Amino acid sequence: MERRRSGHHRINSYFCRTSSTILFRRTFFLVLLFTTTTNALVKIPKNKTVPAVIVFGDSIVDAGNNDDMITEARCDYAPYGIDFDGGVATGRFSNGKVPGDIVAEELGIKPNIPAYRDPNLKPEDLLTGVTFASGGAGYVPLTTKIAGGIPLPQQLKYFEEYIKKLKGMVGEERTKFIIKNSLFVVICGSNDIVNNFFALPPVQLHYTVASFTALMADNARSFAQTLYGYGARRILVFGAPPIGCVPSQRTVAGGPTRDCVARFNDASKLFNTKLSANIDVLSRTLRDPTIIYIDIYSPLLDLILNPHQYGFKVANKGCCGTGLIEVTALCNNYTASVCPIRSDYVFWDSFHPTEKAYRIIVAKLLDRYLNRFF
């Protein structure tokens, strides 16, 4: 009988120690959650909080998720990241920070949003947000398959993994709170238009521009609805940019004078119209206006058409190399020089904007849309 009590005592002691360890860890991570902040530039009501920024999409918001993959859609080498912290090429498709980083910084959450697949990711990084985005991703499965990136369904699987890790760190209730109050950013669609529909004649045999953009918009709506199902209640779904005006597309399809490609821009606008309508219908169906369509087309086009108003000198070429075609592998330290003053350029390479351009756009968008959540 005494042995049984002794064994029972040891088991109770073990569970007490284990419970204490779990409690300590959760308390430790909760302390981190409330203390890991930077100075906020965007004012949030005192009774509201945004604990994390969680990002999905393509190269515009990828921070290095493709770094260990065999794909053209990666940039973990110089001169990418030349103006990032320490001049390190992290896998961000720009000279410095990308929109996810800037949103987190503006909200006072943390300086950068790390890639979920970063091997150096720390557990405490999960508390304030990560990006699951992958260069080359699109709303249409074939788009991502062409580029060799991480498809949106796989990004969601990583997100499920993320939720499990959060629960292990801070418990079920705090995890629900984080998911409910975090800002979710979804940026995708450009690759579908230029690297799929307009690049592949067989696709144009099966779809018209109207039906293809409808497919994109329907898949985008389903993605947003899935995030809502996970408990997300602050979801920003970005439309497509004026993709016909990015330097590479002007070079390959803009004629001798490298004009903006009207049919590409028209496809972006058509997608945006359908996406905006889909998000509006979804919000009404859910009776919850917590999924918001974001117009990225207009602010970026304004920078491109009126660069001098924003302190830019060049808007039709990238800073890397000739600025006409260099992107990813063609933008490298061996065959491409870099412009000395990055802040003169709207575009870093022939496809992705500079950090300065991103900062201007993000500031405009947060000022216009964020108050809808509060």
Per residue in 180-217, pLDDT tens? 999 999 999 999 999 999 999 999 999 999 999 999 99
| Phi and psi based region of residue 157 (left: phi greater than 0; alpha: psi -120 to 50; beta: remaining) | alpha
Copy the structure tokens of residue 130: 């990560």
Q: How many CB atoms lie within 10 A of CB 254?
A: 19
Q: Identify the pLDDT of residue 38.
A: 55
Query: Does position 94 have pLDDT exceeding 70, yes or no?
Result: yes
pLDDT in tens, 165-189: 999 999 999 999 999 999 999 999 9
Q: How many CB atoms lie within 10 A of CB 72?
A: 16
Please list, in sequence order, all residues whose beta carbon lies within 8 angstroms of the beta carbon of residue 111, skipping any fewer than 6 positions away: 38, 85, 101, 104, 105
Average pLDDT of the chain, as a whole number: 91
Q: Which of 200, 191, 204, 317 is nearest to 243 (CA)?
A: 191
Q: Cite the active site residues.
A: 59, 349, 352
- φ, ψ dihedrals at 198, nearest 5°: -80, -15
Label residue 39 by pLDDT band (50, 70, 90).
low
d(CA 179, CA 350): 35
